[in-house]
Amino acid sequence: VKAEAAVQDDEDSESDSSSPRSEPIESQTTMRPRHGGMYHCEFCPYTCPHQVDVTRHERTHTGEKPFRCSVCERAFAHMSNLQMHMRTHTGEKPFSCEVCQKAFARRSVLMNHKRVHTGEKPFQCGTCEKEFSDSSSFLKHKKTHSGERPYKCEACGKTFTQISHLRTHRKAVHK
């Protein structure tokens, strides 16, 4: 069965004691009483038996990012995303391909890479049936059917389906 969904980029990652330290930004979490053994999101119908999971979920509504990188000050909604981000500073690449030994900082990127070896293409366009090995290529392709051109050149007004095409245009035309 072909998937027509984006791959989630949340990873199971553990803290590395050799990584630069990052401090959480002070969070204002309020404990709500449980109703029927469940905690409820203040913004939508989401429920969960664990308060910590509801608090995490609510950040999708509030935009709160309580975990800040001590190196570059970038903030994250989840500690696991901060830990993954820290690899950009440390160069750590703990996930490697068994076939070619290429290493990656994120498990999801390794999983996408493995499709190079297997030929698997789980993303299929519902319009033209073209198949893709990764969700980002699939999503770019879908714009060819929708007519969406979200990237606009400020110098001449020309629009593009991909940011890379806009950059190429700027270099070639507007130097």
pLDDT of residue 31: 52
Same domain? For 44 and 59 the reply is yes
Same domain? For 49 and 73 the reply is yes
Is the Cβ–Cβ distance between 138 and 123 less than 8 Å? yes
Same domain? For 76 and 125 the reply is no
Same domain? For 103 and 170 the reply is yes
Is the Cβ–Cβ distance between 54 and 48 less than 8 Å? yes
Same domain? For 124 and 83 the reply is no
CATH of the domain at 164: 3.30.160.60
- In the chain, where does DSSP find H-type helix? 51-62, 79-90, 107-118, 135-146, 163-169
Can you tell me the distance from the alpha carbon of 60 to that of 114, in angstroms, rounded to the nearest whole number?
30
Q: Which domain holds residue 158?
A: 96-174
Same domain? For 105 and 134 the reply is yes
The number of folded domains in the chain is 2
Same domain? For 78 and 103 the reply is no
How confident is the prediction along the chain (175 residues), in pLDDT tens digits per residue?
444 333 333 333 333 333 333 444 444 445 555 567 899 999 999 999 999 999 999 999 999 999 999 999 999 999 999 999 999 999 999 999 999 999 999 999 999 999 999 999 999 999 999 999 999 899 989 888 998 899 999 999 999 988 999 999 999 999 8
pLDDT of residue 144: 87
Same domain? For 100 and 165 the reply is yes
The last residue of one of the domains, among 29, 55, 90, is: 90
pLDDT of residue 33: 54
> Does any domain span residue 30?
no
pLDDT of residue 84: 93
Same domain? For 43 and 71 the reply is yes
CA trace torsion 153, 156, 160, 165 (10° rounding): -70
pLDDT of residue 19: 36
Contacts 24+ apart (CB under 8 A), 34-43: none
Can you tell me the distance from the alpha carbon of 145 to that of 6, in angstroms, rounded to the nearest whole number?
18
Tokens 């389906």 map to which residue? 161
> Does any domain span residue 148?
yes
Segment (H or E) for 159: strand 159-160
